[in-house]
Homo-oligomer: A and B are copies of this chain.
């Protein structure tokens, strides 16, 4: 049975058809619509096209935002405000003759990464996406962990620095103020006394060219990532934590100081059981996870 996995971002909607053995057989990408009615129509159109061309039997959608478990409503989507308060799952299901699952995009990505692991897979798995913020998902016994209301796994908002920067959540010192793309750029600008706009990719290029401020920026982001990892290990003792997203492209420039800080902070026995690894699927994790959600639906 073929299923469709759709990964919604503020900028683009990405989608792929997955065959029964998990292989990806088609992929498309288009700019995300700007209003709720247009967005619904866009998703339905994608489903309709691929149902015809690929005979899909179910659809999974990963979407940014806090989705309540009980009402299946997107309570808040900071980067796609037209989704606030919308019952996307119900609205799509009303117009779609296929089984459908909608979940948070970071949760879907976590499930996708989890399923990319060789068996036996860990009983507890955490995936972090270091992008403009930090997305995260927790997979327990092979299923996304939602907490009591659907708002669990906001690990990017765990405290890493009591004297830290203000965060979009209204708090300060959250992990995503330090170890996200935004955090790295901010650190570079501070270390280099260079207020010009640039991307974390630019900072990484400068790191590769031997720039000292860039080195410091990645070391700082990695060290605070290690603080976050220590919190995750103490709370959840996961068998594996995978690190993806744009920032993760920096590889060991980021992961080496993170592992160092983790080892410094956590009792050896507890830390030993947690492998810290770069994510495997890159941008494809969200689509793979959404497809897996589709497959978990009763048909």
Interface contact B66-A151, CB-CB below 8 Å: no
Interface size on A, residues (CB 8 A): 49
Interface contact A152-B231, CB-CB below 8 Å: no
Contacts A123-B148, A153-B235 aside, 12 further interface pairs with beta carbons under 8 A come to A122-B148, A124-B152, A148-B239, A151-B237, A152-B237, A153-B237, A154-B235, A158-B231, A159-B227, A160-B162, A161-B162, A171-B264
Type the 1/0 row for A124-164, where 1 means its CB is closer than 8 Å to any CB of B.
Answer: 10000000000000001000011111111111011111111
Residues of B near A235 (CB, < 8 A) are 152-155, 158, 231-232, 235-236
- The smallest C-beta distance from A206 to any residue of chain B, in angstroms, reads 28
Interface stretch (choices A40-48, A208-216, A266-274): A266-274
Residues of B near A155 (CB, < 8 A) are 234-235
Interface residue A284 (Cβ < 8 Å from any Cβ of B): no
Interface residue A72 (Cβ < 8 Å from any Cβ of B): no
Interface contact A148-B267, CB-CB below 8 Å: no
Residues of B near A227 (CB, < 8 A) are 159
Interface residue A289 (Cβ < 8 Å from any Cβ of B): no
Interface residue A169 (Cβ < 8 Å from any Cβ of B): yes
Interface residue A238 (Cβ < 8 Å from any Cβ of B): yes
Residues of B near A162 (CB, < 8 A) are 160-164, 173
Considering the chains assembled together, what is the distance between the CA atoms of A244 and B270 in angstroms?
A: 25
Type the 1/0 row for A13-25, where 1 means its CB is closer than 8 Å to any CB of B.
Answer: 0000000000000
Interface contact B152-A66, CB-CB below 8 Å: no
Considering the chains assembled together, what is the distance between the CA atoms of A138 and B3 in angstroms?
A: 35
- The smallest C-beta distance from A99 to any residue of chain B, in angstroms, reads 23
Interface residue A265 (Cβ < 8 Å from any Cβ of B): yes
Closest residue on chain B to residue A147 by CB atoms: B237
Interface residue A75 (Cβ < 8 Å from any Cβ of B): yes
Interface contact A158-B239, CB-CB below 8 Å: no
Interface residue A76 (Cβ < 8 Å from any Cβ of B): yes
Interface contact A148-B238, CB-CB below 8 Å: yes
